[in-house]
Amino acid sequence: MGGQAFAHIVSDTPINVPRMLPDTYQQVASDVKLKLETLFYHVTIPRDAPGKSDHGDVDFLVEGMRDPTNNNNIWATVKDVLGAELYVSPHHFGIKHPTILDAYVQVDVDLSPGSDTKDGAELFEWTKFMKSDSDLVQIIGVVHRSLGITCNDKGMHIRVEEVEPYNRKKSMLFLTREPDQAMEFYGYDKAKYHEGFDSEAELFDWATNGRYFYWKVYEDRDENANDRSRINKRAMFRRFVYEYMPSCGKGTTTTAYTENDEPDTKKAAPSRQEVLREALRVFGKHEEYNAILLEHKTQGVEEAIWLQINNSITSANAARGTILKGLKRWVAFEDGHPYITEQPISTSTKLKWSEHVSNDTLPDILVWIAENQEQIGKLEEDRANEARKAAKKK
């Protein structure tokens, strides 16, 4: 939080958390690391952005408690071990400044996802990669998003295009959580990454010189709310979008495909299907991919149909939920055509609409629903009222 975690604490005197020059930062980091290592097996500071001249806080990532019995009181234990006089939940600690009287240093301690599980050590290394170099991995994610590649706190994934529109979580096919494997797939220079970046421009150049990066893909991306939030809150990301990328199309050289490719401004963008095929080959994920597609062809198609039906019912209609229940309870099919039943369909004989509705017939079905939704909603509302009355009599 850049040293701002204690700004809202009510105090008789202002809480002074000055920014630290490199010598002070290194001193605090070294001292705190030794203390945290008495509590955790893995302790690190994710690499800072290049060219940083001073620091507002010290950010630690930890994993694997040496004493699992401390699990319920871990933050109180950390506070005691650090000798912190200030604490803001969940993981912001204020310790005495080593050289300035009546001043503090903010120390943030993040517990890595999956800590103390069988995957804890791998997730620790992955999380360090995700948090290093400020906004680097966020930039990597944005410039490759349209190709179906996603990095989150669990690892690197490829999104299955057929499933993504109705269930983004189920569309995620896990590939790896090893940073070097991820960088190799992107086509990045791993040696340069481990060496570190001397400047922000050097970092941007590295991020846009992978195997699949193509400036037009980035230019044509769909900007979402997360992008806008990053632009507002993250200075490095903002500089990448507004200062670096406008000239990237003419300045970037990529390693994609063959050495005889035309200049980057003319080369065709890689397709999402090409990237998917390569991911399945490199990581040996054909079996998992086929399982996702099989579920999509059964349960997934059903979900997709109901998503479109749900979206077709006007949001202004307060009875949307009742109508959706009514469609499942009062509508059957004959020769692919829907009709309203005289009696409600029992839960045990619930119809699968995907067995009666195809992509070709769905538009006509949506028209039929629009014409009959009020009647269907009324039938379901009356049924529910009768059921409630019967329950009260018992």
Q: Which domain holds residue 220?
A: 133-283
What is the reported pLDDT for 65? 94
What is the reported pLDDT for 262? 43
Whether residue 141 sits in one domain with residue 114: no
What count of other Cβ atoms lies within 10 Å of the Cβ of residue 139?
25
Structural tokens at position 185: 């797939």
Measured between alpha carbons, how far is 353 from 331 in angstroms, rounded to an integer? 10
- pLDDT tens across 182-195, in order? 999 999 999 999 99
- pLDDT tens across 277-326, in order? 999 999 999 999 999 999 888 888 888 899 999 999 875 666 888 999 99
Whether residue 355 sits in one domain with residue 279: no
Q: Give domain status of residue 72, yes or no.
A: yes
Mean of the per-residue pLDDT values for the chain? 88
What is the reported pLDDT for 258? 40
Q: Give domain status of residue 244, yes or no.
A: yes
Question: How many domains, the chain?
Answer: 3
Whether residue 114 sits in one domain with residue 137: no
Higher-confidence residue of 151 and 228: namely 151
Mean pLDDT (whole number) for 67-83: 90
Q: How far apart are the first and last CA of the chain?
A: 58
- pLDDT tens across 124-143, in order? 999 999 999 999 999 999 88
Whether residue 378 sits in one domain with residue 263: no
Is the per-residue pLDDT at 169 higher than 80?
yes
What is the reported pLDDT for 218? 65
Whether residue 147 sits in one domain with residue 244: yes
Q: Which residue has the tokens 């290194």?
A: 26
What is the reported pLDDT for 255? 40
Q: Give domain status of residue 127, yes or no.
A: no
Whether residue 279 sits in one domain with residue 137: yes
Measured between alpha carbons, how far is 70 from 74 in angstroms, rounded to an integer? 5
Residue 256: which pLDDT band, with cuts at 50, 70 and 90? very low
Q: Give domain status of residue 376, yes or no.
A: yes
Whether residue 182 sits in one domain with residue 107: no
In this structure, what DSSP letter does residue 295 have?
H
Is the per-residue pLDDT at 210 higher than 80?
yes
What count of other Cβ atoms lies within 10 Å of the Cβ of residue 284?
10
Question: In this structure, what CATH number is given to the domain that contains residue 41?
Answer: 3.30.460.10
Whether residue 334 sits in one domain with residue 215: no
Whether residue 112 sits in one domain with residue 191: no
Give yes or no for a contact between 317 and 323, defined as CB atoms under 8 angstroms apart. yes
Whether residue 158 sits in one domain with residue 241: yes
Question: Which of 97, 107, 95 lies closest to 3, judged by CA?
Answer: 107
DSSP string, 166-184: T-HHHHEEEEE--HHHHHH
Residue 84: which pLDDT band, with cuts at 50, 70 and 90? very high
Residue 17: which pLDDT band, with cuts at 50, 70 and 90? very high
Q: Give domain status of residue 27, yes or no.
A: yes
Residue 267: which pLDDT band, with cuts at 50, 70 and 90? low
Measured between alpha carbons, how far is 84 from 88 in angstroms, rounded to an integer? 11
Is the per-residue pLDDT at 266 higher than 70?
no
- pLDDT tens across 335-391, in order? 999 999 999 998 778 888 998 998 899 999 999 999 999 999 999 999 999 988 888
What count of other Cβ atoms lies within 10 Å of the Cβ of residue 394?
4
What is the reported pLDDT for 316? 62
What count of other Cβ atoms lies within 10 Å of the Cβ of residue 68?
9
Q: Which of 6-10, 219-223, 323-327 has the lowest mean pLDDT?
A: 219-223
What is the reported pLDDT for 264? 46
Is the per-residue pLDDT at 235 higher than 70?
yes
What is the reported pLDDT for 14? 85
